[in-house]
Chains A and B, each alone.
Chain A
Amino acid sequence: MADAILEVFRGNQEVGAAKQYTVPIAPGMVVLDALHYIQAHLEPDLAVRWNCKAGKCGSCSAEVNGKPRLTCKTRMDALPTDKPITVYPMKSFPVIKDLVTDVSWNYRVNKKIPPFSPKPKTDWKMYQEDMDRVQEFRKCIECFLCQNVCHVVRDHHKKEEFGGPRFFVRVASLEMHPLDNVSRVKLLKDELGIGYCNITKCCTEVCPEEIHITDNAIIPLKERVVDEYYDPIMKLVRKIRGAPKPD
């Protein structure tokens, strides 16, 4: 069997460099298999996250040949072998070690989102046709690849004022839940900074679950924000009714 050369980032936030490893290729092999080969045979302290090895847990995210991917779903035979395959940690998160990054920011954002709150006196009847669109959002495996590619995070470092596509997907799953009864629109505007998103769709492109993040989650949510805060007619209606003006 032929060999592949992997160029893997080794190091931490301060110091680090890519290192090359030669790995024998087996049929159907994925990049994560190659990383495991390095651990088992060459350098046991290579840090990688993984759990399911089947694209279900979202642990194994990295940048393979510059593209954000799940390493357990990236086939070696789909990559050119005439040059080294590069494997780097996700760029938008601080490196802990090698391919392992500090993704704790995501868990902090999640905490800000009010949970599902059912309507009073719910009878818990729901119909498949009302759920299909929400179930799409619930497929998210929290690989954070979308968070990683979004330029608002990646290039503009707005982690404090921006929630990121993953959490727009999560808010959408709650807002569009047929039985939910609270509004997260103010949160979207003020704390999750949905206004920073300029619909580049980079997040949708990398989502391994093929969630239509921009079209199905972000755009409808942006519309809700607009309706609530910026639509002049809605504003007028509110004024006439004497409702307090939103800030």
Chain B
Amino acid sequence: MTNQTKYETHEHDVLIIGAGGAGLRAAIEGLAAGARVAVVSKSLLGKAHTVMAEGGIAAAMANVDKADSWRTHFRDTMRGGKLMNNWRMAQLHAQEAPERVRELEQWGALFDRTSDGDILQRAFGGHTFKRLCHVGDRTGLEMIRTLQDRGVQMGFDVFMECTIIRLLTDGKRVVGAFGYWREQGRFVVLKAKAVVMATGGIGKAWRVTSNSWEYTGDGMALAYDAGAELLDMEFVQFHPTGMVWPPGVQGILVTEAVRGEGGILRNKEGQRFMEKYDPKRMELSTRDVVARSIYTEVREGRGSEHGGAYLDISHKPAEYVKQKLPSMYHQFKELADVDITKGPMEVGPTCHYMMGGIKVEAETAASSLPGLFAAGEAAAGLHGANRLGGNSLSDLLVFGRRAGLGAAAYASKAPAASIDDAQIAEAERDMLAPFDRGEGENPYTVHRDLQEVMQNLVGIFRVEEDMTKAMGELEKLKARAARVRVEGSRLFNPGWHLSKDLKSMLTVSEAVTRSAMARKESRGAHSRIDFPKLDEQVWGRQHNLITRDGAGMKLQQIPVDAIPGELNELLADEK
């Protein structure tokens, strides 16, 4: 059926799209289960977002606070997510995270230690106990290097700097993917019996973001195009502390570990303003609360010089700060001329993390589309309406592993795939079209305008009127994106790559906006000026679900699963 000679073609049992923590952990598990595994990534191996994670991995190991247990971790996660979480995922996550961290250690990771020789844990927002296993402020680097080396030794095939632009289906199930090598611009067909989507988030659709060029929502858009369901797309996390000055670094993350280690937030009047918003937890309140507090201070005229808040850790001994937060120390020193051991940093909210995404089953990470699995930031469910810091890295390990297992099990039973040439031909045509246009806009211009729309109209505070306007703007942007022109050749051409990434960003932006308009309440990271309260009766009981309906996007609501009695009791237990 396939025109084998025309495209470079590879065949595997399990194809993993994404080489961050989730993808690599899935690959390791797939290999351990005996599957032939391929991993694809847009960047070089080891450069995925996971490498940037700073603060730590949340796991109830109880090395520092002996009273911690999976039950408390479960409760914190559910409360942080305002009960929009998939309770079963939250349970599995809390129960399995400690074992997944120990496993990393057994594969060679070196975490900071307690005086007893165990893994040291630090405090983080929303976590009742000191729970984040860490390596200074470069935990993600330790994690990705450990997983990468393990996977390479076990023997997966790596396709790096290769971008997937379409999932291939046989009408009923996913049978592979189609992509291009960034280097040469040649196309490649990757046949597989099962595919794991581990492509991460969507932050590049906003102007101020901690995310890299890779975070264009490809995985969610490709899954959606192929027929999978997207869940709770309105829940986009704005991290309270991104850099605000100088302009070139705006949005770059300032890890929550600064607050975990005792950092204090003040406004320009020197007031410790978190006293007003959350007197109990102060700076270690959940991210949604802290982000809104900073935003409100700035809007009401009490912001810092460049429109943020002051975050100060200089009351701690300089040596301690340099040891615990080395990369923050260097980041501010080198990029902002600020010595954080001597004075405050300026910080403000930055688009950081996507709680919503591909809807998956808790146990196997299977999506609604047969043969397609999803894990990590690309998947939805665990974090509900707001993610707690540190719960992403643990999510990658717990559900990366489960996705690898699920996909390998599915692949072992799936018959060989046959590829539909028409799908490939269509994807190829769309991809090459921007070269053929005699005139058209530069994709960078359209991208910049999209970022303005999402930043200004679907940001941290939302209102019906803005979002209606955003929907209109998105339609115009879609039309413009369909007419962009790229110059140059197919050899490593970032403008060309962006022309496709732009489409993914537009799909997820529309899904976010539609879902955000529908949810007429404020919950977790989703704050409506026109509906400032929680609405437990209606919206506390339903999720938003997005699916493709022909060329259009369909939005519907599905009920929130009831939490079983004993787990429910954990949540009621007010401590």
Which residue numbers of A lie inside 8 Å of B, CB to CB? 12, 26-30, 33, 39-41, 43-59, 73, 75, 96-98, 100, 103, 107, 110-111, 115-116, 118, 124-128, 131, 134-135, 138-139, 141-142, 174, 177, 180
Q: Nearest residue in B to A129 (C-beta to C-beta)?
A: B113
Q: Could you tell me the distance in whole angstroms from the C-beta of A71 to the nearest C-beta in chain B?
A: 12
| B427 at the binding interface (Cβ < 8 Å) | no
CB distance from B449 to the nearest CB of A (A): 12
Partner of A28, one of B135, B142, B150, B336: B336
Smallest CB separation, A48 vs chain B (Å): 7
Neighbouring B residues of A30 by C-beta, 8 Å: 248, 335
Q: Size of chain B's interface in residues, with CB distance under 8 A?
A: 66
CB distance from B491 to the nearest CB of A (A): 5
Complex partner residue of B43 from A48, A49, A127, CB under 8 angstroms: A49
A contact residues around B135 at 8 Å (CB): 135, 138
Contact A51 B494 (CB under 8 A): no
Q: Is B463 among interface residues, defined by CB-CB distance under 8 A? A: no
Q: A40-B445, A58-B47, A96-B491 are in contact. List 7 more A-B contacts (CB 8 A).
A: A12-B491, A27-B247, A28-B245, A39-B444, A49-B44, A139-B141, A142-B46
7 CB-based A-B contacts, threshold 8 Å: A28-B246, A43-B487, A45-B486, A52-B52, A54-B253, A55-B330, A116-B149
Please indicate the chain A residues that have their CB under 8 angstroms from the CB of B334 in the complex: 55, 73, 75
Partner of A73, one of B110, B253, B335, B494: B335
Majority secondary structure of chain A interface residues (helix, strand, loop or mixed) = loop
B147, chain A: closest CB distance, angstroms: 12
A53 contacts B488, C-beta separation under 8 Å: no
Q: Does B212 contact A (CB under 8 A)?
A: yes
* Interchain CA distance A95-B84 in the complex, whole Å: 49
Contact B112 A128 (CB under 8 A): yes
Q: Could you say which residues of chain A place their CB within 8 Å of the CB of B247?
A: 26-29
Q: A44-B442, A100-B492, A139-B141 are in contact. Are A56 and B110 (CB under 8 A)?
A: no
Query: Are B492 and A97 within 8 A (Cβ)?
Result: yes
Q: Does B489 interact with chain A (Cβ within 8 Å)?
A: yes
Are B492 and A177 within 8 A (Cβ)? no
- Interfacial chain A residues near B47, Cβ < 8 Å: 51, 57-59
Rounded to whole Å, the gap between the CB of A27 and the closest CB of chain B is 5
Q: Are A28 and B249 in contact (CB under 8 A)?
A: yes
Instruction: Please report B residues at the A interface, Cβ cutoff 8 Å.
Output: 43-49, 51-52, 102, 105-108, 110, 112-113, 115-118, 135-136, 138, 141-142, 145, 149-150, 152-153, 158, 183, 212-214, 245-249, 252-253, 327, 330-331, 334-337, 442-445, 448, 486-489, 491-496, 498
Contacts of A44 in B (CB 8 A): 442-444, 486-488, 493-495, 498
Instruction: Please indicate the chain B residues that have their CB under 8 angstroms from the CB of A98 in the complex.
Output: 492
| Minimum C-beta distance from B514 to chain A (A) | 29
Residues of A within 8 A of B44 (CB): 49, 59, 103
A75-B334, A115-B153, A128-B112 are known contacts. Are A45 and B43 too (CB-CB below 8 A)?
no
Q: Which residues of A contact B253 (CB under 8 A)?
A: 54
Name B150's contact: one of A39, A51, A115, A124 (CB within 8 Å): A115
Residues of chain A contacted by B214 (CB below 8 angstroms)? 51
Complex: A122 Cα to B159 Cα, angstroms = 35
Chain B contacts of A50 at CB under 8 A? 212-213
Which of the listed residues B43, B47, B149, B494 has the most CB atoms from chain A within 10 Å of its own CB? B494
Is the Cβ of B152 less than 8 Å from the Cβ of A110? yes
Pairwise interchain contact B212-A51, C-beta atoms closer than 8 A: yes
Q: B45 contacts A45, CB within 8 Å?
A: no
B445: which A residues are within 8 A, CB to CB? Answer: 40
Report if A45-B212 is in contact (Cβ < 8 Å); known contacts: A28-B248, A59-B44: no
Chain B residues within an 8 Å CB radius of A40: 442, 444-445, 448
